[in-house]
Amino acid sequence: MSAAATGAATSTATGASSVSVARVVRAEWTKFRTLPSNLITVAITFVTIVGLAGVLLAASDDGGTALAPVDLLAGVSWAQFLPAVLGIVAICSEWAAGTSRVTFLAVPTRWPVLAGKVAVVGVVTFVAGAAAAAGALAMGAAAGVDVGADPALAIRLVSGTGLYLGTIAVFALGVGAIVRNLVGSILTAVGFLWIAPFAAVMIPVPEVHELAGYLPTSAGALLLTPDNPAVELTPWGGYAVLLAWAAAALAGALLTLRVRDV
């Protein structure tokens, strides 16, 4: 439609364009990077992990030679709340800020929006986590920690930190899409990721303890610990359990998006 009223040669301006998943991913990336708070959250995640490694190294008398590589990642359990918040904010802010209608008017099939957010939040938190772990280990190596003794473990710790944080962010994103309300989503995610593992320890029933090992953070954290034959799950087995939680949350999110009004 040639258009005097809506501005010049607009037919050439918009002519061949249509919605694709790749374009929705790009739109979600634009959304992510144009909110300063997201960038700050990513930076704090990185600084927490690297910073805590620095504190541990500085605090150990022998310059760190007594520390194992896994000890350098103590900051991950502190930082892991931030990727979860990032995932929740990515989806819940659509409703809190009133952008949800504009978003789903542009993408009425809805699911590509979720896919785009998963891609952006997942990749950003993976990269931030892996980069922070690499930074922490490099600092340790420079200070005398024997990081090179087990190269396979070092690689697992770096990629594992990225995967662990990225998958927690995606799990939280799924929870956010189901719950929609920002505060409700954060409470639900905190319940699954932190309160449930603590609460399970309080129940003096062995079966409960065993099941608690399959909670998202308990299982996923195995990726960041050395092999332990006493635990039923292998490190990657533990990560697979975390991945299954994320997949279940996303399945619920897709269903919710499909049936609920925007």
Residue ranges binding another protein (CB under 8 A): 1, 3-8, 10-11, 13-14, 17-20, 23-24, 26-27, 30-31, 34-37, 93, 97-99, 101-102, 104-109, 259, 261-262
Both structure tokens of 12: 């050439």
Question: Is the Cβ–Cβ distance between 83 and 45 less than 8 Å?
Answer: yes
How many angstroms separate the CA atoms of 60 and 122, rounded? 34
Q: Residue 240 is encoded by which pair of tokens?
A: 């697979």
Strand, coil or helix: 144: coil
Closest approach of another protein to the CB of residue 22, in Å:
9
Please, what is the minimum distance in Å from the beta carbon of residue 169 to another protein? 19
Q: Which is nearer to another protein, 3 or 58 (CB)?
A: 3
Residue closer to another protein, measured from CB, 18 or 61: 18
18/204 with CB nearer another protein: 18
Tell me 222's DSSP state: G
User: Minimum distance between the CB of residue 127 and another protein, rounded to whole angstroms?
Assistant: 21
Q: Cβ(139)–Cβ(47) under 8 Å? A: no
Taking the least distance from each CB to another protein, the nearer of 10 and 159 is: 10
Nearest distance from C-beta of residue 44 to another protein, angstroms: 17
